[in-house]
Amino acid sequence: MIARRVRELGTFCEILPYETRWDSLSQQPSAVILTGGPESVTVPGSPDVDPAVLQSGVPILGICYGMQLLAREFGGELVKLDRPEYGPAMLTVTESRSPFFASVPERSRVWMSHGDSVVRLPPGFAALASTERCKVAAMGDAQRRIYGVQFHPEVAHTEYGRAMLENFLRRIAALPPDWGMESFVETAIEDIRERVGGRRAICALSGGVDSAVAATLVAKAVGEQLTCVFVNHGLLRKNEVEEVVGAFHDVLHLDVRVVDARERFLHALAGAEDPERKRVIIGHEFIRVFEEAAADVPGVELLVQGTLYPDVIESKTPQSKAGHKIKSHHNVGGLPEEMRLELLEPLRSLFKDEVRRVGRVLGLPESIVGRQPFPGPGLAVRIIGEVTPERLRVVREADAIVRHEIDAAPLDPHPWQYFAVLTPVRSVGVMGDGRTYANLVAVRAITSEDGMTADWARLPADLLERISARIVNEVPGVNRVAYDITSKPPATVEWE
């Protein structure tokens, strides 16, 4: 979230684990942000930072845990709160002349999430802001250009968080807004050409935005050295094979080969109910299918994937023993340890909204760039429990109704993502004056900017009514529909 906000402001940044040694960096950063985390700085063995980072002389911003770490390392005092503070709070800026709070009103809403609090400032630091329960909600040492905030400026709930981050980047760190997707495309094409050389590559097309942009970017770089393979694993949405293959052939003009692997994937998934196991099975099977397809293309040594930064972050925080894994993405945690093909992931450093901007820079039509995200494991992660042909039929038909009704509705904002989920719940119903015992389908629709956080979409009641009525009447085996009104966090976008 923090990295994404910084990039939105036109400054490139990357995430490194806290154990990173300052002298191991190939290029010295112009500024450092120490992030939040669930640990407590008052507990022995909690995540620390190389002292050279703090003595580097570059501007530093500590957020939540990062601020507490700064306070401890520079000689302040912290206490553990009797009651942790989570949620909204009113911030009062007590030092309006601070460059960190330039153009920020005296009072505004911020988002708190902490169990420790600074009670004595380190030497050289001044208190800049407070809340009702947090006396030192922001602190700063203007001379050393080191600042800390107890709240989270990166989340939308903090009203002026973007302005605060921009103040740190521009007024404190003096960084120009000189990074964008145009420069990324130019650099990426050069890097791909150098990496590929005279070799051939094969691209794993899924039909989603990520693989389409990755394929187009690589095709721009190496042209006919790229062959695309679209695998019909039987886990796709209704009519998706025809729509996707047509788009790649007719719109993107890519060399696409279709592999029918429906029976193979269903056989591999038989009996698998655990979501992590399903993702790993699908990831392994994908690689094997592509390796077999690559054998028919002479000279192929590289596999192109549309892996994104959130995939990497959610699967495992990069190289950090303190990383908190959320789930294995099929193209990260689901990959086999030994592969015959070398991975080429040109979008690995980008967030979803950045990928869409890259697609527009490359000239892709909005029908492709604006498609709602669809998980690589497909409908397998929208079936809770075992994947069978019958359960696939149910979720596929229900999903088609959800998408058709929402696509046709005049909604503002339009949901970021919307789909049906087949739950393992069966319930009693009455249909045609007779008793039924059938499936519960859940409908999920969210609003989001990048999928890293999301809120449930406030769909009109009459739209939900139409969706429910159509699913129950048109999809045999379903007698009940529920609407998911959970945000991310605490939930994820997908149910599995």
Catalytic (active-site) positions: 64, 152, 154
Q: Which among 217, 201, 212 is positioned nearest to 247, based on CA atoms?
A: 212
Give the contacts of 242 (CB within 8 A, at least 6 positions apart): none
Q: What is the rounded distance in angstroms from the CA atom of residue 53 to the CA atom of residue 359?
A: 37
β-bridge pairing 107-120 and 256-260: unpaired
- At position 32, the amino acid (one-letter code) is V
Q: Which residue has the tokens 């940044």?
A: 13
Query: With b meaning 16 or more CB within 10 Å and e meaning fewer, what string describes 133-152?
Result: ebebbbbbbbebbbbbbbbb
- Tell me the H-state helices in 251-306: 262-269, 275-294
- Tell me the H-state helices in 251-388: 262-269, 275-294, 309-315, 352-361, 366-369
Q: Are 374 and 382 in contact (CB under 8 A)?
A: no
Q: What is the rounded distance in angstroms from the CA atom of residue 496 to the CA atom of residue 493?
A: 9
Q: Are 438 and 478 in contact (CB under 8 A)?
A: yes
Radius of gyration of the chain (CA): 25
How many helices (H) and strands (E) the chain has is answered by: 14, 16
- CA angle, 279 as apex, 275 and 285 as ends, to 5°? 145
Token pair listed for 173:
């760190």
Q: What is the rounded distance in angstroms from the CA atom of residue 310 to the CA atom of residue 293?
A: 28
Q: Which residue has the tokens 């045999």?
A: 476
SS3 81: strand
Strand (E) or helix (H) holding 392: helix 389-408
Question: Where do the DSSP E strands lie in 394-448?
Answer: 417-431, 434-447
